Structure 1
Amino acid sequence: MRTYQAIYDTLFSHYGPQGWWPADSAMEMMLGAILVQHTNWNNVEKAMKNVKVYRSPEELYELSLDELATLIRPSGFFNTKAKRIKSFLMWFRQYDYDVRKLRYLKRLELREQLLQIHGIGKETADVILLYAFGKPIFVVDAYARRLFKRLGFNMPDTYDAFRSDVERELPESVEIYNEYHALIVMHAKVHCKATPICTDCPLWEYCERQIS
């Protein structure tokens, strides 16, 4: 039977645990989520090497926009992303850059705060909620839409309606949502590309061949 849970179980069985997010701290994870917008992870890693020279968010906050943009240049769109990081740091500063003070907030309350930060949209906010704050939430990205469309799911058009559809079926588990997002990304890189590689695809039995 084709369900969100069945797809997760199949992907997990095939690829195994992914161990996401690739970061050494919650702070690094959140910065990475902003930097990865409109680029690939290799470029983010290059930018993060520069950022890591400044070991504290306080030091990053004191940098000018030009200095910050220079640091993150490898990530692309560096002037835009510098402004977004500045806005994020201004928000995080209200909580003394302490993730523990934010983990006590309810998921939707924290989500609303993140969405008020310049340059943070729903996908980025949900990635931060999941991987930095341990809130169970399904991340809707282009890979997820492509995958479930090809599998024949009747997905709502809006981001939150699609997210809610998945969350209604899955247990409220941070571990499952953590792995699900990472597994979808992995599957999109290996099989469900823009031009799909269907040979040996672990989801072949579920696919309705709605390839576009």
Structure 2
Amino acid sequence: MDQASLTPSLTDIYRCLLKKYGPQHWWPAESRFEMMAGAVLTQSAAWTNVEKAISRLKAADLLSPEAILEADEHYLAKAIRSSGYFNVKARKLKALSAWLQASYSGQADKLPYSDVTTLRKELLGVWGVGEETADSILLYACGKPVFVIDAYTRRIFSRLGLAEKEAGYDRLQGLFTSNLAADAAVFNEYHALIVRHAKEHCRVKPVCKGCVLKAVCKFSSSG
């Protein structure tokens, strides 16, 4: 399929989702570092459980790179227990904090001034940070026009017939970046709407009744 021909479809899908659900106001956070920590904690976790973990970090005065680096790893893991895989995530938070401390003096507010390509490469070099987490940090914490790809995106757009189910991360990301203007605000809202739609309708077992995209969905039309 010619990617250039997908521009109207991607735009129309965005408009349909926005009309249906309205602005999602993502990413809910009080600081740039909180968004970064949330990007790690949300790995394989429901956002409601991530919010509980973040609240516990705040209550324990652990929501800063300095505090995370100084904290006992087991104590940190206990604080984020609700997010699942808490022992591994505690190590990931420490690795991310160590990188931020070493490269940016622990100041997350310096990150937006870095070149996006360089910054993404640096993030991917941090233990425990994969493409989705790095891109979430770039988009939500740094305001960079980078489209985040997750399981919800893969599910919805393969069912719509706009991407292969087995398409790689770069391929799926290119679907959006090649056909939409590089706009961080739009990418932010689009991804948030994708997540909302996946939870409301395009679940593992889809709820096609009332789906705003049903008329253009290959999966639904196939029965």
TM range, smaller chain = over 0.9
- The alignment status of 1:63 with 2:71, answered yes or no, reads yes
Choose which of 25, 28, 38 in structure 2 pairs with 1:19: 25
SS class of match (2:203): coil
Partner of 1:157: 167
- The alignment status of 1:122 with 2:131, answered yes or no, reads yes
AA of the residue aligned to 2:14: Y
1:199 & 1:93 partners in 2: Cα distance? Answer: 49
- The alignment status of 1:103 with 2:103, answered yes or no, reads no
Percent identity, aligned pairs only, is 45
Give runs of aligned pairs for residues 72-87 of structure 1, distance below 5 A. 72-87=80-95
1:152 & 1:46 partners in 2: Cα distance? Answer: 36
Cα drift, residue 41 of structure 1: 1.2
Choose which of 193, 196, 199 in structure 2 pairs with 1:189: 199
SS class of match (1:202): coil
TM-score, normalization by structure 1: 0.94
- Counterpart contact for 2:138–2:144, Cα < 8 Å: yes
Cα drift, residue 84 of structure 1: 0.4
Q: Deviations over 1:150-192 (max 9, x none)?
A: 1111347210121012111101111100001100000011111
Cα drift, residue 105 of structure 1: 1.2
- The alignment status of 1:199 with 2:212, answered yes or no, reads no
SS class of match (2:219): coil
1:206 & 1:131 partners in 2: Cα distance? Answer: 29
TM-score, normalization by structure 2: 0.90
Give runs of aligned pairs for residues 161-180 of structure 1, distance below 5 A. 161-180=171-190
AA of the residue aligned to 1:45: E
1:56 & 1:75 partners in 2: Cα distance? Answer: 18
Partner of 2:153: 144
Q: Structure 1: which 5+ residue stretches go unaligned?
A: none
2:44 & 2:133 partners in 1: Cα distance? Answer: 12
AA of the residue aligned to 2:67: E
Give runs of aligned pairs for residues 41-52 of structure 1, distance below 5 A. 41-52=47-58
Q: Deviations over 1:14-67 (max 9, x none)?
A: 111100012111111111111111111121112111111215331222112122
Q: What is the RMSD of the two structures over their aligned residues, measured on CA atoms?
A: 1.7
SS class of match (2:197): helix
Partner of 1:90: 98
2:201 & 2:81 partners in 1: Cα distance? Answer: 31
Moved over 6 A (4+): none
Q: 1:154 to 1:45 in 2, by over 3 A?
A: closer
1:99 & 1:59 partners in 2: Cα distance? Answer: 14
AA of the residue aligned to 2:215: E
